[in-house]
Structure 1
Amino acid sequence: MAQTVAGTAVRQLVEAGVRTAYTVPGESFLPLLDAWEAEPGVRLVSTRHEAGAAFMAEAEAKLTGRPALALASRGPGAANLAIGVHTARQDQTPLIAILGQVESGARGRESFQEVDLAAMYAPLTGWAQEARTAEEVPSLLAEAHRAATGPRPGPVALAVPADFWTAAYDGAVPLSTGPDRRDEAAGRTDESAGRAAAHLADLLASAHRPVAICGPGDRVGRETLRAACEVAGFGVYSAFRRQDCFDEDHPHFLGHLGLGVPEDVRLALEDADLVVVLGTRLDAITAQDHRYPLPHQHLVLVGTGLPRPRHPGLTTVLEADPHDVLSALVRSATDRNALVRNATDPDPTPTGPRATVWEHHHAAAVRYARPTGEATRPGTVHPTDVVTALRRLAPDDVILTNDAGNFSAFLHRHWGFRTSHRLLAPCNGAMGYAVPAAVAAKLHRPRNTVVALVGDGGVLMTGQEIETAVRYAAPIVVLAFQNGMYGTIAMHQATSHGRLAGVDIGRLDLATWARGLGAAGFVLDDPARIEAVLTEALGCGRPCVVDVRTDPDVIAPGRRLSGLLDPGTPSAEHTAEHPAEPTAERETP
């Protein structure tokens, strides 16, 4: 008996290692949903919004390195899904989006919810196609998987007309990975990585002040990166929101290239003669608004499919897996002195000039990250105190999901990452990421503690996925930092215009709201109770939300909004208000 196109597609995805599909169900792919639900060993997660589905798929793929699946219907559903697909594009995360389309006979007639989905998704993905016949769906799906996992991992989109799913398919099932030539490919990979490692070793040996910009951790290999920097003598910066790639207490750690990095933390990058970018896109924030690398610096890109930045100086591209390159570099370093020699010290040692230099710059990074005591208004807590308390209380295998917004700067600056931690955060600054990402992380790694950090703006965008966490028994902890405004925009407005416009967020009772979704709810508005409330939340054993009431004047680490606003304006008076009335009772589960 012939299989249907839907059944064949499910078989292909399962054989390719996909185990979870995230979706808001739609009528344009009902047979695919039915076939997936009938497949043993896989999970269909019904979310509350397509943005949540896309963020969940992106987070799972980021955590596992394997493509995850997001399903959405035509028109409105596909539009809602787009934010997570854009996140996957900028984060180089493998994601497969299957989009239901109107029936094939109705295409081109402005039918109900009809959109040219391939054209819509082309700028957001590395590969976007629409099936023109039912017979070509399996081959297109195989091609999509290869594109998602190719030299530059990323999202792909396949649109399929609704009537194609029930069509019979009796052809061979195409392989998503092509012919099985793994041994031959492994040999070529080892050879390529070996050549790249030898070239990199020569460049490091001749450099005076080499630094590396690294991430993500799974792509570079956390332990391998540590060994390589010690053997080859280079300092390490973590790329924007890639802080779990390297231990921040390591003496070679130079800092996180995020937002608002002070000059003394950037000094090692400013003084470098060799800048090695390992496994990451050199995005605008990591490059500090495209300031780095400087024209005289030699840029070395190590990775596959990395976009080449507009660098006027010397650039070397080593097109090879960064983990394999670093592994080969470590294996070949039998004579450390040959690797770390430089003009000022022909016989350096692990405690020689370079190590001393990195210790000096590491001290600057530590000083920058050290918490400073700041007072807040009554009924509020300081974000720094919450982050540092959570760091003390959370287990060492914690998974953190971080949203976009000024509140997140407190985590990036004060957490103190170790490579046992995992950080899932959107490099494109997409609001609403943290809660859905936490749900996916907990579903995939149920034994790990998963904590989402989100602002009040972000939690109002996708916080309804807390209900998804409740329904699937995924006990995540959500810290919702509430200051009553879109803090990042408020800071930019205050800096540029001295006043605010359109940034107010209503007064919220997030604890009661969380209970209405079936979760536990806590209020944190007393500095003396920070540790007690966080301990309760971490141990409650079910999804929970901590309504963290913060002072709106504490707009960013070391910055006060009142100091940026023109005195006497209504905007300045706004900063004296509390973000929410403390009406909700504290819950003890």
Structure 2
Amino acid sequence: MTQTIRSGGRILVDQLVAQGCDRVFTVPGESFLAVLDALHDTPAIHTVVCRQEGGVAYMADADGKLTGRPGVAFVTRGPGATNASAGVHVAMQDSTPMIVFVGDLDRADRDREGFQEIDMAAFFAPVAKWAARIDDARRLPEYVARAYRVATAGRPGPVVLAIPEDMLRDEVETIDRPPIAPIAQPACAGAMGAMIDLLKDATNPVAIIGGADWSPAAAHYFASFAHRHGIPVAAAFRRQDAIANSCAVYAGNLGYGPNPKLQQRIREADLLLVVGARLGEATTDGYKLVTPDHPGQLLVHVHPDPNELGRVYRADLPICADMAEFSEMAADWRDPDIVRFSAGEEAHTEWLDWSDPKPRANPDGSAVKLDLGPCVAAMRDALPADTIICNGAGNFSGWWHRYWRYAAMPCQLAPTSGSMGYGLPAAVAAALRFPDRTVVCVAGDGDFLMNGQELATAAQYGADLLVILVDNGAYGTIRMHQERDYPDRISATALANPDFVRLAEAFGGWAERIETTADFAPALGRAMECTGIRLLHCVTDVEVISNASTISTLHGKG
């Protein structure tokens, strides 16, 4: 441990290095210049300068999802903090480890409604695991270590720390904290034995997986366990990379617009093994597919946070455990009395058929001019299996949720909270974290323009990414609900869009406009011959998308 006299800004950055942080995302603010000055002399941390704080927070969330370590963001007070709050909300609902540092006004000026003043702890408390203000530079090591612990322990989530400008300039003596050790709680043998006993008595078990604390190790071990016993495995909403979709018992994803055969399997299941998932509104189709009391079904709920067990769903067997530790114990458990089920392979066959695009037509029987199903199939043929797919919210995402086949994590970056504007910042973060992998942002026209300015960040840092921009000239999901609830009264959902090809070119990218299905695969081939920013502007008909039974339906803003 080091005890030296340093500025608060220097101490803060030293703590980030000690905890293993190697990248921060920021829009600079005068309220934390002392931190920026310290980062100038810290080559161990790559500072990524973004164009809007919403993009900052989304990138930090995506980086946390990709690494399992807290994504770190720095924003300034007032408008900077409120812009970033959308990303904090995503991290909370998605159980993503993240730490957001907010530069704040001087301590002596508190409670005077000073320039851009907000009570940060009060503002962020409802959407963060922990929100606090650091008033003493000597306590920076304590607060940062605690932030890392809170962000990663139990159900991961976001931490927000306000850092007053004058505190960061204080020269003080303090002791650095060592890196926090991860907490990995295995399932007890008794609980595992009880679960196995329930499995032996079951006739129609189904697993629902993915969520808090999920990891590549958990994916590997749980796939082994489920395959050995023939248990159908469904992915929770936007957790489709929870196991490789090539696994012979993968049954598809839940959420909006899932396979009706998978839904029926879950309704008929006598035993539900829910591992990592909270069983939120989207995964359970509004708490109807699996009800909180699930009469006639036994529920084994495995989660890393005891506060989630029994919070909404009655659990017949609650198990609090680290996901990787639990999955490894399950994979290693041997019991000769368990009969292998045939349902796993049957469910996988049903999913393969469901995820294979079929020819589609307009309501009048004419051919669809640009059919996105075959376009996703063309992507499957042309792109590597470990491609990282990033998307925000909107009906457009349903094509990839249904037809793309994900490898094991991390391969999917998509907000379970249904937040628009997420895809492009997430793709930038993924391209910087994994420069040797193919990264694709899938976006709608309204979705893209919420954070399209982050193409500048991609260009500045040489990020190599592909954007599939689906343009129907509308907020399509809202239009769909509007046409259902208020027919023939279209209001506030039409969009006038720019020339997206020229927009991408203005950022130094390569782009093409696509208007027919036949044009997509050749254009994709040309895009993959290029590097840097590439954009395929796919022009579609809003009526076709709204009336397509294959499209997922998102509620509210999206």
The normalised TM-score by structure 2 is: 0.92
What's 1:526 paired with? 516
For residue 170 of structure 1, report the CA deviation from its aligned partner.
0.9
Corresponding position: 1:484 with 2:487: no
**Residues 130, 521 of structure 1: CA spacing in aligned structure 2 closer, same or farther, 3 A cutoff?**
same
Q: Partners of 1:536 and 1:476 in 2: how far apart?
A: 14
Q: Partners of 1:314 and 1:429 in 2: how far apart?
A: 27
What's 1:362 paired with? 348
Corresponding position: 1:451 with 2:455: no
Q: Partners of 1:193 and 1:517 in 2: how far apart?
A: 54
Corresponding position: 1:24 with 2:27: yes
For residue 255 of structure 1, report the CA deviation from its aligned partner.
2.2
C-alpha offsets along residues 250-307 of structure 1, whole Å, 9 cap, x if unaligned?
4422221020225322111001111111112211110111110422211111121162
What's 1:329 paired with? 330
Read off the aligned partner of 1:298 and give its amino acid letter. L
How do residues 387-426 of structure 1 correspond to structure 2 at under 5 angstroms? 387-419=376-408, 422-426=411-415
Q: Partners of 2:276 and 2:148 in 1: how far apart?
A: 21
What's 1:235 paired with? 232
Q: Are 2:57 and 2:88, in contact at CA under 8 Å, matched by a contact in 1?
A: yes
For residue 146 of structure 1, report the CA deviation from its aligned partner.
1.1
Identity %: 35
For residue 518 of structure 1, report the CA deviation from its aligned partner.
2.0
Aligned to 2:308, what secondary structure does the other structure show? coil
Aligned to 2:496, what secondary structure does the other structure show? coil
How do residues 26-425 of structure 1 correspond to structure 2 at under 5 angstroms? 26-175=29-178, 177=180, 189-190=185-186, 192-216=187-211, 218=215, 221-291=218-288, 292-293=290-291, 294-305=294-305, 307-308=308-309, 314-333=315-334, 335=335, 337-338=336-337, 340=338, 348=339, 350=340, 354-355=341-342, 357-375=343-361, 380-419=369-408, 422-425=411-414
Tell me the number of residue pairs that the alignment of Structure 1 and Structure 2 aligns: 538
For residue 201 of structure 1, report the CA deviation from its aligned partner.
1.8
For residue 212 of structure 1, report the CA deviation from its aligned partner.
0.8
**Residues 314, 141 of structure 1: CA spacing in aligned structure 2 closer, same or farther, 3 A cutoff?**
closer
Corresponding position: 1:471 with 2:468: no
Aligned to 1:453, what secondary structure does the other structure show? strand
C-alpha offsets along residues 318-377 of structure 1, whole Å, 9 cap, x if unaligned?
0011221121122121x4x32x2xxxxxxx3x4xxx21x334433333333221212468
**Residues 556, 395 of structure 1: CA spacing in aligned structure 2 closer, same or farther, 3 A cutoff?**
farther
For residue 455 of structure 1, report the CA deviation from its aligned partner.
0.4
Corresponding position: 1:434 with 2:423: yes
Aligned to 2:450, what secondary structure does the other structure show? helix
**Residues 274, 560 of structure 1: CA spacing in aligned structure 2 closer, same or farther, 3 A cutoff?**
closer
Unaligned residue ranges in structure 2 (runs of 5+): 552-558
Q: Partners of 2:83 and 2:130 in 1: how far apart?
A: 19
**Residues 467, 82 of structure 1: CA spacing in aligned structure 2 closer, same or farther, 3 A cutoff?**
same
Q: Are 1:452 and 1:476, in contact at CA under 8 Å, matched by a contact in 2?
A: yes
Pick the structure with greater CA Rg: 1
Q: Are 1:22 and 1:47, in contact at CA under 8 Å, matched by a contact in 2?
A: yes
Unaligned residue ranges in structure 1 (runs of 5+): 341-347, 562-589
Q: Partners of 1:380 and 1:74 in 2: how far apart?
A: 48
Q: Partners of 2:122 and 2:241 in 1: how far apart?
A: 36
Q: Are 1:214 and 1:278, in contact at CA under 8 Å, matched by a contact in 2?
A: yes
Q: Partners of 1:300 and 1:198 in 2: how far apart?
A: 12
Q: Partners of 2:54 and 2:235 in 1: how far apart?
A: 28
Q: Are 1:410 and 1:557, in contact at CA under 8 Å, matched by a contact in 2?
A: no
The CA RMSD over aligned residues, in Å, is 2.2
Aligned to 2:504, what secondary structure does the other structure show? helix
Q: Are 2:232 and 2:345, in contact at CA under 8 Å, matched by a contact in 1?
A: no
Q: Are 1:379 and 1:549, in contact at CA under 8 Å, matched by a contact in 2?
A: no
C-alpha offsets along residues 368-418 of structure 1, whole Å, 9 cap, x if unaligned?
322121246899522212211111110122111112100000001111223
Read off the aligned partner of 1:481 and give its amino acid letter. V
Aligned to 2:174, what secondary structure does the other structure show? coil
Q: Which has the higher contact order (CA 8 A, sep 6+)?
A: 2
Read off the aligned partner of 2:194 and give its amino acid letter. H
Identify which range, 403-412 or 532-541, moves more after superposition. 532-541
Q: Are 1:131 and 1:161, in contact at CA under 8 Å, matched by a contact in 2?
A: yes
What's 1:564 paired with? none
What's 1:493 paired with? 482
One of 9, 13, 35 as aligned partner of 2:12: 9
**Residues 421, 71 of structure 1: CA spacing in aligned structure 2 closer, same or farther, 3 A cutoff?**
closer
**Residues 193, 536 of structure 1: CA spacing in aligned structure 2 closer, same or farther, 3 A cutoff?**
farther
Q: Are 1:467 and 1:518, in contact at CA under 8 Å, matched by a contact in 2?
A: no
For residue 193 of structure 1, report the CA deviation from its aligned partner.
4.6
Aligned to 1:261, what secondary structure does the other structure show? coil
